[in-house]
Amino acid sequence: MVDLARVVAPGSTLFLYGALSGEATPCPGFDLGMPALNMRTYTLHGITRDPERLRRAEAFVAAGLGTGAFVPAVDRVFALEEIAEAHRYLEAGAQVGKIVVTVEHEDA
């Protein structure tokens, strides 16, 4: 992260996202000589625990999907019968995009 922070322009924002590793996120401020940059971390709970922010986020996503501005990235599609394989693939963490499991059903 220090290398990334070194290329951020003065007054810019370095946006840190994700906590999948479980390790502490280092703050490189002292290593960089305390440059004039803004850092903002993000957790999903910042939106999901605030009803108004959640409503706005849902509206934003729905509008993006509705207009076609947002297109979900699908990495792989599995049939329900392949659910164990899909789970192993997910646990491997190599996907780029969503993993979709399809469910076939008979019309009554």
Residues 6+ apart with CB under 8 A from 68: none
Q: What's the chain's average pLDDT?
A: 82
41-46: long-range contacts at Cβ-Cβ below 8 A with a sequence spacing of 24 or more? 41/16, 41/17, 42/15, 42/16, 42/17, 43/19
Q: With 80 as the cut, is the pLDDT of residue 35 above it?
A: no
Residues 6+ apart with CB under 8 A from 77: 99, 100, 101, 102
pLDDT value at residue 9: 77
pTM metric for this prediction: 0.47
Specify the DSSP class assigned to residue 97: S
